[in-house]
A and B are shown apart, each in its own frame.
Chain A
């Protein structure tokens, strides 16, 4: 089955530093989403980026489909960015999307 590996497992930054999160997946992906999970548990979709580069605010995602990897770059991190970042893949083999999630990168940003 589809596997999603995220690295690093955890990351500690000082406010203002940049973060680079990686996602590698074992088979083709027709959909790739990055999510933010708050310490309280809610999930927010950050970016949908199955291929190429996308920007939103301080976030940049680059997905290289042939190499089965995606990255999420967070620039000028803030304490409110602290939480878990999840990568999820849809292999596109289902009639309706079935996302497979990685275990996430836990980010802690201190002032």
Chain B
């Protein structure tokens, strides 16, 4: 059974519309993340959440808003979609462990949602 579920697998949207990408993890982790992979760039970190609180945001645009309704859910709402938003969006999770200020957490990734904006 998949431990990290992302829905939908594929998504086509028109410019200017709004979409929500769903992520649920069943690994018992308390940290969740969003990453983006576009054709021309390596995988890029977007957000991190710990215990349903935003820890880090590396996304310049406010059009990207993570939403955590439950501790094992971290959805991503994207508004006013643009063709440049076309990418595969990956959700990940980990069980952060801090020891002397060092994070040893291993992250596990979902299958991704491939978004195409026309």
Interface string of A1-22 (1 = CB under 8 A from B): 0001000000000000000000
**B67 at interface (Cβ–Cβ under 8 A)?**
no
| Cβ-defined contact, A98 with B45, below 8 A | yes
B72 on interface, CB distance cutoff 8 Å: no
- Asked if B103 contacts A90 (CB within 8 A), the reply is yes
Q: How far does the Cβ of B68 sit from chain A's closest Cβ, in whole Å?
A: 13
Q: How many A-B residue pairs have CB under 8 A?
A: 81
Q: Please name the residue on chain B nearest to A48 by beta carbon.
A: B106
Cβ-neighbour of A98 out of B42, B58, B88, B101 (below 8 A)? B58
When the two chains form their complex, are residues B109 and A41 in contact, meaning their CB atoms are under 8 A apart? no
Closest to A49 in B: B106
Q: Are B108 and A98 in contact (CB under 8 A)?
A: no
Q: How far is the CA of A92 from the CA of B104 in the complex (A)?
A: 8
**Residues of B in contact, count (CB < 8 Å):** 29
Q: Are B106 and A42 in contact (CB under 8 A)?
A: no
Q: B66 an interface residue at 8 Å Cβ cutoff?
A: no
Residues in chain B near residue A98, CB distance under 8 A = 33, 45, 48, 56, 58
Question: Does the CB pair A101–B42 fall under 8 Å?
Answer: yes
Closest to A45 in B: B108
Given contacts A96-B50, A96-B55, A102-B42, contact A30 B112 (CB under 8 A): no
Residue of B nearest to A40 (CB): B111
Q: A96-B33, A97-B107, A101-B44 provided; 14 other pairs, C-beta below 8 A?
A: A30-B103, A31-B103, A41-B114, A43-B90, A45-B108, A90-B105, A92-B103, A94-B48, A96-B48, A96-B55, A96-B94, A96-B103, A97-B94, A98-B33
What are 22 A-B contacts with C-beta separation under 8 Å? A30-B102, A31-B106, A41-B111, A41-B112, A41-B114, A42-B111, A43-B112, A45-B109, A92-B101, A95-B56, A96-B48, A96-B94, A96-B103, A99-B33, A99-B43, A99-B107, A100-B45, A101-B42, A101-B43, A102-B42, A103-B42, A104-B42
Residues on A lying within 8 angstroms of B by beta carbon are 4, 30-31, 33, 35, 41-45, 48, 50, 86, 88, 90, 92, 94-104
